[in-house]
Amino acid sequence: MSEEMLFRTEDDVLTITVNRPEVMNAVDGPMLHAAADAVEQTQARVIVITGSGRAFGAGADLNRVKEGGTQEGGNRLVRAMLSTPRPVVAAVNGPAAGISASVALAADFTVAHESAYFLQAFINIGLMPDGGGTQLVAASLGRARANRMAMLGERLPAAEAAEAGLIEACLADEEYPDGVVALVKRLASGPTAAYAETKAALNAVTLAGIDETLQRELDGQERLGSTDDFHEGVTAFLAKRPATFEGR
């Protein structure tokens, strides 16, 4: 665990890095709970979440799916990010899929590298979005675009996500590192109490009912996890072949 999740606090900034580049930073329950612990316990003024290597995160590690706890850990991390009074920045250095996309979009500021994209990949294994994904996307993009991402599994490139208002910014390769650093420094030197009150007010307006959303997704995933389509979806993914869904 200590090597899979990296935590560093420097200059009043807590940086959480998912460190599994060999599997594009796929996560499991314990990893997500460890991140939630860090968010809940930190005294830093700003929190940054990112990934190592070329991806922000590939979502749940299906090779560890039998261990369980990924959705609960993801929900807890999203709740921690939304409820902490500290500004949270997602530095999306590459693709963000599944629960990793939900985590990225739960941040107060989502800054993405131009190579990044956002993908609600759940439908490809017979599941539905979780981690608040059904609300986080719809709150920014509207129902029609949310349906395309969730039900067709379409990728949304970072540039389009920024233009549509889903994320704060999409930065080119040469701009990305300095752009993230500049934003984090500005937040770390800003009025912390005012940030906290503003964040709470904005979340109350834009993400009202997020707890109900998380529970609805949890219940839905539990039902879908017992279907033949889910079993086929996971089997096909691990075998690197197209899934054949039969609707049951």
Full pLDDT tens readout for the chain, 248 residues: 569 999 999 999 999 999 999 999 999 999 999 999 999 999 999 999 999 999 999 999 988 876 678 999 999 999 999 999 999 999 999 999 999 999 999 999 999 999 999 999 899 999 999 999 999 999 999 999 999 999 999 999 999 999 999 999 999 999 999 999 999 999 999 999 999 999 999 999 999 999 999 999 999 999 999 999 999 998 998 899 999 999 98
Return the pLDDT at 238.
87
Report the sign of the C-alpha dihedral through residues 116, 26, 149, 231, in that order.
Answer: positive
Return the pLDDT at 2.
61
Is 101:119 a contact under the CB 8 Å cutoff? yes
Return the pLDDT at 62.
87
Residues 6+ apart with CB under 8 A from 138: 146
- Go through the domains of the chain in sequence order and give each one's CATH number: 5-173+191-239 (3.90.226.10)
- With 0.85 as the threshold, say if the pTM is over it: yes
Q: Quick one: angle between helices 210-224 and 70-83, nearest 10?
A: 170
What tokens appear for 40 in the block? 């809940």
Return the pLDDT at 64.
85
Q: How far apart, in whole angstroms, are the C-alpha atoms of residue 151 and residue 35?
A: 28
Return the pLDDT at 65.
72
Is 116:93 a contact under the CB 8 Å cutoff? yes
